[in-house]
Chain A
């Protein structure tokens, strides 16, 4: 169990640019979640996958956000035309089933200037 890894750890980008983050879950976990967290707040749900299928996407998310999990392994989260309000910590977590513990990665901190 090598844990959930996320890349990059930090990303600074200019407003209007596109960014992509990667998450490598624990290998035997079939569920993968993306959350966004700002200072002093709880993790905000973005989307989750079971294997390669995206089961739900937050209605709060605009069309600028998209996520994929090809072949049910790693996942990518892309934000197009970034805005300053997108600045946050983006957390990935994986789990072995619907009511199994979530194992979080250390996150990618995005700063949009």
Chain B
């Protein structure tokens, strides 16, 4: 089942902060975050695993609430380069590896 992302779109000024949320109705084992710029392939940002392990870029911050099956991606002091569409991908507990992506959150950072 597809995870739900919110908000659908965000417009920021450079230096402002944003939070993107991802929630699932199913028990999750891991949550991935990717960013896709127009006309390009999605690029990996971070993986959060059940139990607290995280893998990803040092400048990216995210959380995974295992009780609520929710993850949040924190974008602080936004830069123009942060613009793009952010996708969360979720792997359900007990599944061997299928990753299902949400519908995306479009972020636009203006000067």
Residues of A bordering B, CB below 8 Å: 31, 33, 35, 40-45, 48, 50, 55-56, 91, 98-107
Closest CB in chain A relative to B14 CB, distance in Å: 25
Which among A43, A48, A104 has the greatest number of chain B C-beta atoms within 10 A? Answer: A43
Please name all residues of chain B whose beta carbon is closer than 8 Å to the beta carbon of A99 when the two chains form the complex.
29-30, 47, 49, 55, 91
Asked whether, in the complex, the Cβ of B98 is within 8 Å of the Cβ of A45, the reply is yes
- A55 and B97 in contact, given A43-B87, A99-B47, A101-B55 (Cβ under 8 angstroms): yes
Residues of B bordering A, CB below 8 Å: 2, 29-30, 32, 34, 40-44, 47, 49, 55, 87, 89, 91, 96-104
Please name all residues of chain B whose beta carbon is closer than 8 Å to the beta carbon of A103 when the two chains form the complex.
44
Further pairs besides A42-B104, A48-B97, A98-B97: 8, Cβ < 8 Å = A31-B97, A35-B101, A45-B101, A56-B98, A99-B29, A100-B55, A102-B42, A105-B41
Asked whether, in the complex, the Cβ of A42 is within 8 Å of the Cβ of B49, the reply is no
Can you spell out 10 A-B residue pairs with CB atoms less than 8 angstroms apart? A40-B104, A42-B87, A42-B103, A42-B104, A45-B101, A55-B97, A98-B91, A99-B30, A102-B44, A102-B89
Asked whether, in the complex, the Cβ of B41 is within 8 Å of the Cβ of A91, the reply is yes
User: CA of A48 to CA of B96 in the docked complex: distance in angstroms?
Assistant: 10
- A107 and chain B: residue at smallest CB distance: B41
Asked whether, in the complex, the Cβ of A43 is within 8 Å of the Cβ of B42, the reply is yes
User: CA of A103 to CA of B28 in the docked complex: distance in angstroms?
Assistant: 21
Closest CB in chain A relative to B51 CB, distance in Å: 11
Question: Which 8 A-B pairs have CB atoms at the shortest separation, nearest pair first?
Answer: A101-B44, A42-B101, A104-B41, A98-B97, A43-B101, A42-B104, A99-B30, A42-B87
- B104 CB contact (under 8 Å) in A41, A101, A107: A41
User: CA of A91 to CA of B42 in the docked complex: distance in angstroms?
Assistant: 9
